[in-house]
Structure 1
Amino acid sequence: MAQQATEWFGMRLTPDQKAQIERLAEQRDSTQKDAVMRLVEQAVADEKEKEPIEAEPGSILDLAGDLIGSIDDPNGPTDLSTNPKHMEDYGKD
């Protein structure tokens, strides 16, 4: 694996924060830097899992797009998707 260039990053910590990092590194039998980096990498991975998944080409809209608006019923409801009264018996058998 090629080694990446590094850049200095520093921050001020309270004595309690520093002690927590020291304990964490000791518990994990690692350096303080490695202990913190593992937590950062895990947090980034967790956030990526929360990102929305983009639809693959060929979505339902793509597949059925030519059907949208194909039913022309002048007596049909114009508010079918927005009016709660149309959902009153939905799902009841």
Structure 2
Amino acid sequence: MTNDNDTALFQVIDNSVGSPVILHAPHGGRTIPAEYLSSFIISPTELEVEKDVMTDHFTDTLVGALTGASAIINGLSRFAVDVERFPDDTEEMNA
């Protein structure tokens, strides 16, 4: 699935024939949809630096090279969506 910029919103690596394991890489992406960029008070340059810090880089490469497992890799920046959080903060996180 892609967004308007043809950037993958998520990536599915299906190695289910070779392994029953599914790995989840919730912070493997850097994409922030354009409609949300005006919500940030830091400069675009500062935002790029912050995305570099907050992204789990090369998770897709590591999954494929090291495990042979299936994986779901989130393509969105955690600044756009944190897929490990519930809508209600009273719920326990599953990290």
More helix by share: 1
Q: Per the shorter chain, which TM-score range?
A: under 0.3
- The structure richer in strand per residue is 2
Q: What TM-score, normalized by structure 1, do the two folds share?
A: 0.21
Q: Which has the larger radius of gyration?
A: 1
